[in-house]
Structure 1
Amino acid sequence: MDRRATLRAAAACALGALPAAGCDGWHVAPDGGPARSGAATPSGPGTAPSGPSAPLPAELSHGPRDRRAVALTFHGQGDAALVRALLGELERGGAHATVLAVGTWLAEQPSMARRVLDGGHELGNHTQHHRDLARLDGPGVLAEITACAGQLRQLTGSIGTWFRPSQTRHATERIRAQARRAGYPTCLSYDVDSLDQTDPGPAAIARTVGAAVRNGSIVSLHCGRPGTVAAMPALLEQLRGRGLRAVTMRELMT
């Protein structure tokens, strides 16, 4: 595709004139601006690990559709024994995941940060107290993000690459602005909701994910749920049967 055709395709994606599958790796930010698939290097306070080099949109809900991989992303809090069991199931299945940790959970269970990383998984930020960010003012949002970032930096030396707002699937402009100030230029959403937080049972969790997952999907799951732990073997087997690898967000986007 020549430069002129490439620019036309990008514009069409931004305007919604092309289906997502036809946008060749372009993802449209909530403000309508196109961004090429890749990873951002966060700026601002704290030191984030190097990530994909191309800029990402303000909110990311799906990875590249040409990747035979999916990202299992976990809202990180819960009983430490259940979280260890979950990580063990992932590792036995050859899977890596991204855990978006709640800061108060890390403060209570500081050893879990190292356990996540030692298993080849990835840690990110899911606010300090898991409050409804959409109901907070700007300073309140920033405080929630930076407090968790501080926990991550203290335990791992990095604030992490990914931030997921708590109690809202999509970040508001206020949340996105404060996340950028805290060093997270991209808010992480998802295109597949496992609904595991409703405790529907292991079979239902695996079935829900299996029915919706596609190349490049970002799946929302929760740590500390017995049904989620029990669902992992069947869920990972479904992914393998479709030729999909379960990888971290960093792996998905690089």
Structure 2
Amino acid sequence: MAGREVSRRGLLGLGAAVLAGCQAGPSPGGAGPASGGAGPPPGSPGSALPTSTTTGAPPGPAQQLVRAESGRPEVALTFHGAGDLSLTRRVLDVLAQHDAQVTVLAVGTWLAATPDGIRMVRDGGHEIGNHTWSHGDLAHMAPSPMRTEIERCRDELDRLTGGPGTFFRQSQGQYATPAELTEAAWAGYARVLSYDVDSLDWTDPAPERIRRAVAAARAGSVVSMHLGHPATVTALPGVLTDLAGRGLRPVTATRLFT
């Protein structure tokens, strides 16, 4: 997103990437911002676990969703799923107090280390998605390890929650590259959820700065936030109050693009 002030790849090594945010990448490749939905995608609750196709032609790139154009006064708050379980619990408590539904894109290593976290998200009625296994620099991977990152997280989500998640989101990039869209489709995800507003909460700034960043959201916006950062917990009540004051309702990404 324009106006990004910090280079995430320069700030964080891969060993710390699971707790980092998602670096802005190039402009969307392949599919661009999409309005409306294409029906329930693979990975919706109750759908079968998708599997890769290893023969024949590629299934075609996944659809990249960045901002909805329905005109409804709704926004999707989306959370990078990683970090301390106590912070996750506090974020979910704030969301419940404000009757807000969100989409959590989980990192596979977090799922494996803290399985109760994603179960708490699910039990709170929130939507779940895939944010790669290890939150590496996906755009610079070859196709095979890129797909492994997606599939390994997909399979862990299915093991823990009974489904692979509704969306895939690339790691360390605001927009998915054409290769990421292709590999997401191979892994069974019809839609890739990017975003148009970065809260910058991954830098743990003052809460007021997070609120100012989210103030850029408009009807149809997808906002990137994080479960595992203390500043997010502190800022979230104000963020939700600000959105309500502007007549904007936080909904899941599926609802936003329906």
Instruction: Pick the aligned partner of 2:159 from 154, 157, 164.
Output: 154
Counterpart amino acid of 1:75? H
Q: Pairwise CA RMSD of aligned residues?
A: 2.0
Post-superposition shift, 1:150? Answer: 0.3
Counterpart amino acid of 1:186? R
What secondary structure is seen at the aligned counterpart in 1 of 2:149? Answer: helix
Where does residue 99 of structure 2 map in the other structure? 94
Quick one: percent identity of the two aligned structures?
50
Counterpart amino acid of 2:110? W
Where does residue 16 of structure 2 map in the other structure? none
Where in structure 2 are the equivalents of 1:1-254 lying within 5 Å? Answer: 30-31=29-30, 37-43=36-42, 48-49=44-45, 58-210=63-215, 212-254=216-258
Tell me the distance in 1 between the aligned counterparts of 2:63 and 2:91.
30
Q: Which has the larger radius of gyration?
A: 1
What TM-score does the superposition give when structure 1 sets the normalisation length?
0.81
In structure 2, runs of 5+ residues without a counterpart are: 1-27, 48-60
**CA shift in 2, pair 1:50/1:30, >3 Å:** farther
In structure 1, runs of 5+ residues without a counterpart are: 1-28
**CA shift in 2, pair 1:121/1:34, >3 Å:** closer
Moved over 4 A (4+): 32-36
Tell me the distance in 2 between the aligned counterparts of 1:108 and 1:176.
27
Q: CA contact under 8 A between 1:74 and 1:222: conserved in structure 2? A: yes
**CA shift in 2, pair 1:65/1:213, >3 Å:** farther
Where does residue 52 of structure 2 map in the other structure? none
| Greater relative contact order (Cα < 8 A, sep 6+) | 2
